Amino acid sequence: MSQVNIKVKLNYIHAEKLAELSPRQVQFQIQLTLPSGEIKTVQNKILIPYVFNLSSNPPIANVILKGEVNVIGEKEKIKNIKEGIKNKKIPREILQVVTQYTMLEAMILIKELGMPPPVPIPLPPSDKKQPPSTITPI
């Protein structure tokens, strides 16, 4: 997808803590609906609405993000992208950008609610010369 710019915008943010964290393990379910409504085309730009939903099991937190993806490029490329989306073939680049953006926003909101992150935190590579750390991230 050369010569195409992708910008993700948020129009709605909702995050709530439904209950205090229990000692049981928390599992997160993530759903991204793209497009979540009518796709609009304005000259060399396509506006694709999306909804991101993160919920937990047991139900202790919920995050909903709504917005739109602005894809700007040559008219022919925009037309091809719109046709692909109508055929349920969303370009991988658009899907990756939206997923990365919404996951980052959701992780920040979950952290602010005092919950564990929905994805494991990557550990730095261990150096055999140093003893393992006893510090646990919160």
**38: which DSSP letter?**
-
Distance CA(120)–CA(97), nearest Å, equals: 20
The pLDDT value given to residue 60: 87
Residue 16 has pLDDT above 70, yes or no: yes
> Which residues, at least 6 apart from 63, have a Cβ–Cβ distance to it below 8 Å?
14, 15, 52, 53, 54, 55, 106, 109, 110
How far is CA 30 from each of CA 5, 52, 69, 83, 103, rounded to the nearest angstrom? Answer: 26, 7, 18, 26, 9
Q: What is the mean pLDDT of residues 12-25?
A: 82
pTM, rounded to two decimals: 0.78
Name the most confidently modeled range: 11-15, 20-24, 56-60, 77-81: 11-15
Contact 85, 39 (CB under 8 A): yes
Mean pLDDT of the chain: 84
pLDDT of res. 95: 93
Instruction: Name the pLDDT band for 122 (thresholds 50, 70, 90).
Output: low
| 8-20: average pLDDT | 93
Q: Tell me the three state secondary structure of residue 3.
A: coil
pLDDT given for residue 99 in this prediction = 94
> Within a 10 A sphere around the Cβ of 74, how many other Cβ atoms?
12
pLDDT at res. 138: 45
Q: What are the structural domains of the chain?
A: 4-112 (3.10.420)
76 vs 125: CA distance, rounded Å? 45
**How is residue 120 annotated by DSSP?**
P
